[in-house]
Chains A and B, each alone.
Chain A
Amino acid sequence: GDSVTQMEGPVTLSEEAFLTINCTYTATGYPSLFWYVQYPGEGLQLLLKATKADDKGSNKGFEATYRKETTSFHLEKGSVQVSDSAVYFCALSDGGYQKVTFGTGTKLQVIP
């Protein structure tokens, strides 16, 4: 079945540091890939998405590129802020059924 593997956290960075959170996936067919963010006590918010190979999703300074050859969708941000502290989930969705498979989540802590 489909699966998503992402790096374990927590990841602790100083403000303005560069962020990378690794995500790899296993899927049949051609899934869509997503990054969701969850702030403490809240639900999930879509951060960015990519629907086909070589697509780059971007939002709020975050970027991720759909790499079919390496089955990866790593999340990056050039300069993190304290307000970016949250849990980040990598996810994939098969096109037909709509079912979403999540990674385990990576907690990011940004310190001033």
Chain B
Amino acid sequence: GAVVSQHPSWVICKSGTSVKIECRSLDFQATTMFWYRQFPKQSLMLMATSNEGSKATYEQGVEKDKFLINHASLTLSTLTVTSAHPEDSSFYICSARPGQIHGQPQHFGDGTRLSIL
């Protein structure tokens, strides 16, 4: 079945550094990928929609300059958290859907736990 790989799975870094998270679709092409953020014991909040070859579409309240998204190919999207601070600590999850057929589910990566010290 469709597989989405996310890397790294866990990052710990100092405040002020930038962190890049990769999301790859391993066995299908994805023109659109999605980035979510999940706070402890809460649901997933959509941050942005990553579009291959064009700018990402951000949800209201998400800082574009803080969370840089690049969708360089049909199988890779990256999320860079720039100048990370402790409040950026969270669980970040990406997803993608193979094809455009109605009803196909999103397939999720295993998530990246980001801890900023």
A interface vs B, CB < 8 Å? 32, 34, 36, 41-46, 49, 51-52, 89, 93, 95-96, 98-100, 102-105, 107
**B79 → chain A closest CB, angstroms:** 14
B107 touches A98 (CB 8 A): no
Chain B, 82-117, CB within 8 A of any chain A CB: 93, 95, 97, 102-103, 105-111, 113
A-B contact count (CB 8 A): 54
Check if A93 sits within 8 Å of B6, measured CB to CB: no
Q: How far is the CA of A51 from the CA of B106 in the complex (A)?
A: 13
- Do residues B105 and A98 form an inter-chain contact, with CB atoms below 8 A? no
Q: How large is the interface on B (under 10, 10 to 19, 20 to 34, 35 or more residues)?
A: 20 to 34
* A105 lies within 8 A of B108 (CB): no
Determine which of A32, A34, A51, A103 lies in contact with B43 in the assembled complex, contact meaning CB atoms within 8 Å: A103
Q: Do A42 and B111 touch across chains, with their CB atoms under 8 A apart?
A: yes
A-B pairs with beta carbons under 8 Å apart, 28 shown: A32-B103, A32-B105, A34-B105, A43-B6, A43-B110, A44-B44, A44-B95, A44-B108, A46-B105, A46-B106, A49-B105, A51-B103, A89-B43, A93-B105, A95-B103, A96-B102, A98-B97, A99-B46, A99-B49, A100-B34, A100-B46, A100-B95, A102-B43, A102-B44, A103-B43, A104-B42, A104-B43, A105-B42
Kindly state the separation between the CA atoms of A74 and B69 in the bound complex, as whole angstroms: 35
Bound: A89/B97 CA distance, A? 18
* Complex contacts, A45 vs chain B, CB 8 Å: 108
Cα of A104 to Cα of B113 in the assembled complex, Å: 19
Listed from nearest, the 3 A-B pairs whose CB atoms lie closest are A51-B103, A95-B102, A43-B110
Residues of A within 8 Å of B111, CB to CB, are: 42-43
Q: Contact partner of B106 among A98, A104, A107, CB < 8 A? A: A98
Residue B25 is within 8 A (CB to CB) of chain A in the complex: no
CB–CB B109/A93 < 8 A: no
Asked whether B107 lies within 8 Å of A46 as measured between CB atoms, the reply is yes
Q: How far is the CB of A91 from chain B (nearest CB, A)?
A: 8
B35 to chain A, nearest CB (A): 12
A98 to chain B, nearest CB (A): 5
